[in-house]
Structures are given as C-alpha cells and as structure tokens.
Amino acid sequence: MTTTASDERRGQILDAATRVFAEKGFAATTMDDVAGAIGYTKPVIYDHFQGKDALYSEIIRTTADRMMRLLREAVEKQNEPRKKVEAAFRVYFELVVTESDAFRVLFLQAGSTERNIQLRAVEVDMVSFIEPMLPPALDDNHKRELAGGVVGMAEGAAVVWLVRRERTNHVGTVDDAHQLAKRIATLAWGGLRAVQPK
C-alpha cells in the first residue's frame, strides 16, 4: 500500500494534534493551536478533519487499533499462558512509554461525553482481548470480570507512570516499559493463579 502526499499530511496533522491535546487537554485545544503546531493553515487541517472532535476521535481510534494489533501479534508468538500475559503487558507498557502523548490523550485528557464513550469502547476491546487467556474452567462472566481487573491494573499503572513523567519531565525508556510489564504481570499472574471456578 503506497502512501500519498495527502496520507502523509494527514499523519503529520494527527501527530501534531496528539502533542497539543496531550499538553493542553481537549477543552483548551483549538484548531488554531493544531495549525500553529504543524505550520499549516486551518483550511488545510479542515481538508482532512471536520473539526476538533474528529481529530480527537481519530487519535483514539488509531492508537487503539495499533495497540490491539501489536498485542495480538505479541501474544500469538507465545505458547504458555504466563508468557502470553507477560508479552501483552510488555507491548502495552512499551507503547505507554514510547507513545506517551497518545496515551496521555487516552487516559489523562478528558474529552466530551462522546469521546468518553469511545474510550470505554477501547477498554472493552482490551477486556475481550484478555478473556481468552484466562483459565477455560471459568464461566464467561467470571472471565470477563477478571479480564476487566487485569485491564484496570494496566491502566492504573500507566496513569501513575504518565503522571510521574509529567511532573518530573522523565524521559521514558524501553527499560521502564519492561519493568512495568514485569511488575504488573507478576501481580496479575499471582492473582489469576489463585482463582477458582465458582
């Protein structure tokens, strides 16, 4: 699939908008801010996106799509349940660390109610991704609740890391991501091993 000049410009606009939303938040960001950050005029931005909501939605969609694709690829390479869990956490936290602005938009910058609904949909996708890795003896509701807990642990740790990064200007490394993944995978796995069907 070839990339056109229009696709490239759209990607540049998304990158600039992600940085601006991460820094200023949804409510405070204007289309002028996005145009200024990239050096385009507002009409160029509007050629690609209908407005601020459309930009914000696209950031969430592309970040979530990329995350889910990379999670699936990482897990498919593993055979053992524990290694699948560790691989998923590793990919997740690598994305949090290396694409911090996008994850600040996902977790720290509130948008409209419509955007919040979109963010909840991302969480539901992550829960659905985790469910098949849980013990097959559990009933569907039990698996879904536990998967929600695992997703909550990952999100909670990501938020703590992102806030620390914001407060200290810490530049994240892949080592940070791997340390987070190891810690949360150990916590999750220890809890999951104790689960009994009810």
| 25: alpha, beta or left? (left if phi > 0; alpha if psi -120 to 50) | left
Question: Structure pTM?
Answer: 0.78
pLDDT > 60? residue 112: no
pLDDT > 60? residue 111: no
Q: pLDDT (tens digit, 9 = 90+) per residue, 77-95?
A: 999 888 888 899 999 999 9
Angstrom distance (rounded) from CA 162 to CA 184: 15
Element (H, E) at 4: none
How many of the other CB atoms lie within 10 Å of CB of 38?
19
Fold assignment, 5-193: Tetracycline Repressor; domain 2 (1.10.357)
